[in-house]
């Protein structure tokens, strides 16, 4: 599965208010 910067940005925007559902180890990639 290839994840692009665009997908990460969209995911960050979409799930920005649901941060607790993300794995903490992934947060640094999503909220960089």
Place of tokens 């994840």: 3
pLDDT recorded at residue 11: 72
pTM: 0.32
pLDDT recorded at residue 7: 80
pLDDT recorded at residue 15: 55
pLDDT recorded at residue 16: 54
Expressed in angstroms, the distance from the first to the final Cα of the chain is 20
Query: What string of pLDDT tens digits covers the 32 residues of the chain?
Result: 787 888 877 776 655 555 556 666 666 666 55
Largest CA distance in the chain: 25
pLDDT recorded at residue 21: 60
C-alpha–C-alpha distance, residues 4 and 21, integer Å:
21
């Amino acid at each position: 599965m290839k994840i692009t910067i665009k997908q990460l940005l969209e995911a960050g925007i979409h799930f920005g208010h649901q941060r607790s559902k993300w794995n903490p180890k992934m947060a640094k990639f999503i909220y960089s």
